[in-house]
Chains A and B, each alone.
Chain A
Amino acid sequence: MSRPEASSLAAADARAKIPEAAAGGRNAHRPPGWAKRTLIRHVVPEVALALLRSLRLSWRVRETGRAHYDRAVGSGRAPVIAFLHGRAFMLLNTIEGRDRRCWFSMCSTSLDGDAMARLEQRLGFDVVRGSSGRGGLQAIVDIIRAVRDKPGAGACLAVDGSRGPRGKVQGGVISLAQRTGGLVLPVTVSASRRWIFRRAWDRTMLAKPFSRVEVVFGEILEVPARLKAPEFDRLCHELEERLVALQGQADLLSGNGDTEPVRAA
């Protein structure tokens, strides 16, 4: 529900253009060398792709609420699929190539984002670069234009990205839906056996081989084209509540007993 003032947003975008080494401060360091950049941009995505595809072959995927998905894609409007960042690996892996539809996604402009963008492209997504922290406003504008320009396209967005707080819906997803198909489809996933990367801000989850994977689609959230601020914030809150509830449902179905709250404190 972040609604930063335009001036601060302009400043954030401006900072994004300054190389970290030139910006100074505690995080100043030399930019990664050629070898590291090549590894992250080209090798890591290919290894991750091979791993994800192998894992998917072994997963037993079950879908709940599939009728909501069918209604969204059958509506003739551009659907926006909304999920939490920590489940992105598993969800994108199960959405890949779905209905031969063109799906746009968004990745940050960081080096890690390069790897993620490459992976998503290899999974068949059209990737727009930017995030809530860097170039986010332009990225939302770009993804809106891309979806509108391509009939039959849809968008997939991690709503609490790119850096959290975990489980807190940022406003970009509602803006995107306002200007495209006017509908948001919340979805989440859980697994009977999984790895959880506990040190990551989003507690990334990845199902282990031969797990039962539960994909749960929620009810469509209708988003009017014109919204005043209170209504906009109410929809962000509504989507957040639905995603948290869906996560609980998916965890219950899969037997995931992780007790860490979906939303960061």
Chain B
Amino acid sequence: MSRQEILQRLVTVIADSSSAPIAAADVTEATSLMSFGVDSLILIDLIFDIEQEFGVKLAAEELTAMRAMGDLVGHLEKRVTT
């Protein structure tokens, strides 16, 4: 799965979890995860939505350590393809 494809699927997942409206076209790998208004409870949604979408079990600590979408894309790229 390409990085671009992962990014697009992630944007869909985050848009479902987050209450903030998201303009998919404006989201790049440099976009901050915090810009989506993600709080601790939305993070729980994200962890399980990512697990369902990509089959990757994330630890809360891994997700909270990520700052930009690119960090998450890179992490998933490694875990999805291996």
Q: Which residues of A contact B (CB under 8 A)?
A: 3-7, 9-10, 13, 136-138, 140-141, 144-145, 171, 175, 178-179, 226, 228-229, 232
Q: How far is the CA of A259 from the CA of B35 in the complex (A)?
A: 46
Q: Is the CB of A6 within 8 A of B33?
A: yes
Q: Are B19 and A229 in contact (CB under 8 A)?
A: yes
Residues on B lying within 8 angstroms of A by beta carbon are 16, 19, 33-34, 38-45, 47-48, 57, 59-61, 64-65
Q: Chain B: interface secondary structure?
A: helix
Partner of A13, one of B19, B42, B57, B61: B61
Q: Is there an interface contact between A6 and B65, defined as CB atoms closer than 8 Å? A: no
Q: Find chain B residues with CB under 8 A from A137 CB.
A: 40, 43-44, 60, 64
B80 to chain A, nearest CB (A): 19
Kindly provide the distance from the CB of A108 to the nearest chain B CB, expressed in whole angstroms. 16
Other-chain residue from A3, A179, A228, A229 in contact with B40 (beta carbon distance below 8 A) = A3
A158 to B: closest C-beta gap in Å: 18
- Is the CB–CB distance between A140 and B64 below 8 Å? no
Knowing A13-B60, A228-B19, the reply to whether A179 touches B44 (Cβ < 8 A) is: yes
Q: Are B38 and A6 in contact (CB under 8 A)?
A: yes
Q: Check if B34 sits within 8 Å of A10, measured CB to CB.
A: no
